[in-house]
């Protein structure tokens, strides 16, 4: 390996090729010319002393070294994003960028009006909203603020409990009129159930006990909570949704409310180093207060 340390721009090009699968796609993503991006790859391979991709008729195939480098290059990308967010604040305390991560449903169904109100109060702050059911690494600063459905355990994180979000089982009235109302929990097996595709430990903890609610019972399998919610609203079948969201549609009917209620602990989380950032703290407090009101409703 050469003594010269590869620059970040080379690793940025490397990540783009890993993501896009081709030099041309990576060049478009980075608004570069393909020859320039190709030079980046050759230079990086030369500095590392090993090939990163194998050229095949089907495209570029990452080598074992490329797969080993990828998470470290992603960490560099996260650090670069943090530097940009910090620098974006300039000298004004209430300007700059704050990156927020939340689950699909919270991010798409709950946060938009909350963020709209915040924008009206603080127009100088740019919000980056990342929707993912995977927990972002706040210690690595993948995001500044996270809305999580599990209590954080890392000591370097500041956490504020929002409350418990209630989940229930719902179906559209159109589906129930066409297929009948299940008269008991054990009758759900005869209906079109909407559920997960991949069972994670998180889902196993929430899965209702004693119900026909496993992958083999589902007529629609999806790991997207937004897709499941949309399918319930469309009348596809019976599924689990946040009670507060389902109440927005008078045609959604809750089934077995006395027998079936699940609860999601909800937390606001940020890195303790960000407490000195006024813009992050303002958004953190605004989100926490608004989500507490959402849970109480």
Please say whether the beta carbons of 106 and 93 come within 8 A: no
Q: What share of the chain is helix, strand, coil (3-state, %, to 5)?
A: 45, 25, 30
Please say whether the beta carbons of 237 and 192 come within 8 A: yes
Residue 1 lies in a domain: no
Residues 103, 193, single domain; the answer is no
Residue 119 lies in a domain: yes
Residues 255, 278, single domain; the answer is no
Residue 193 lies in a domain: yes
pLDDT at 135: 66
d(CA 66, CA 227): 34
Q: What is the pLDDT of residues 70-101, one digit of tens each?
A: 888 888 877 777 676 666 554 445 788 899 99
Which helix (H) or strand (E) covers residue 11, if one does?
helix 8-20
Kindly report the pTM of this predicted structure. 0.68
Give the total number of structural domains in the chain.
3
Domain of residue 217, residue span: 164-264
Nearest to 113 by CA among 266, 270, 287: 287
Q: What is the pLDDT of residues 184-234, one digit of tens each?
A: 888 898 899 999 998 877 777 777 777 778 889 999 999 999 999 999 999
Residue 3 lies in a domain: no
How many angstroms from the chain centroid is the CA of residue 169?
23
Please say whether the beta carbons of 262 and 170 come within 8 A: no
Q: What is the pLDDT of residues 204-213, one digit of tens each?
A: 777 777 777 8
pLDDT at 226: 94
Q: What is the pLDDT of residues 247-287, one digit of tens each?
A: 999 999 999 998 888 898 999 998 887 888 888 999 999 99
Residue 179: give its domain's CATH number.
Answer: 3.40.190.10
Nearest to 193 by CA among 230, 231, 164: 231
Q: What is the pLDDT of residues 117-155, one digit of tens each?
A: 999 999 999 999 999 887 655 556 678 899 988 887 777
pLDDT at 3: 61
42 pLDDT exceeds 80?
yes
b/e 156-185 (16+ beta carbons within 10 angstroms → b): ebbbbebbebebbbbbbeebbeeeeebeeb
Residues facing 195 on adjacent strands: 221
**Residue the block writes with tokens 């209702």:** 208
Q: Is 252 helix (H, G, I), strand (E, B) or coil?
A: strand
């Amino acid at each position: 390996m050469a003594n010269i340390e590869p620059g970040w721009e080379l690793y940025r090009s490397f990540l783009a090729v890993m993501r896009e699968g081709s030099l041309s796609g990576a060049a478009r993503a980075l608004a570069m010319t393909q020859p320039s991006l190709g030079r980046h790859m050759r230079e990086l391979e030369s500095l590392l002393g090993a090939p990163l991709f194998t050229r095949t008729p089907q495209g570029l195939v990452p080598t074992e070294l490329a797969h080993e480098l990828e998470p470290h290059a992603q960490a560099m990308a996260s650090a670069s994003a943090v530097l940009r967010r910090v620098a974006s604040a300039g000298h004004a305390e209430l300007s700059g960028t704050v990156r927020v991560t939340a689950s699909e449903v919270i991010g798409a169904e709950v946060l938009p009006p909350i963020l709209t109100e915040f924008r009206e109060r603080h127009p100088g702050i740019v919000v980056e909203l990342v929707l993912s059911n995977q927990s972002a690494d706040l210690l690595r600063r993948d995001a500044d603020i996270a809305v999580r459905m599990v209590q954080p355990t890392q000591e370097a994180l500041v956490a504020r409990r929002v409350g418990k979000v209630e989940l229930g089982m719902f179906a559209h009235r159109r589906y129930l009129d066409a297929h009948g109302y299940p008269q008991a929990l054990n009758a759900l097996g005869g209906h079109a159930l909407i559920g997960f595709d991949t069972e994670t430990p998180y889902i196993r903890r929430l899965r209702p006990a004693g119900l026909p609610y496993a992958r083999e019972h589902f007529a629609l399998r999806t790991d997207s909570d937004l897709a499941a919610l949309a399918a319930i609203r469309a009348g596809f079948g019976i599924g689990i949704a946040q009670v507060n969201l389902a109440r927005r549609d008078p045609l959604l009917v809750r089934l077995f409310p006395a027998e079936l209620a699940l609860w999601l602990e909800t937390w606001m989380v940020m890195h303790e180093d960000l407490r000195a950032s006024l813009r992050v703290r303002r958004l953190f407090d605004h989100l926490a207060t608004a989500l507490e009101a959402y849970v109480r409703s």
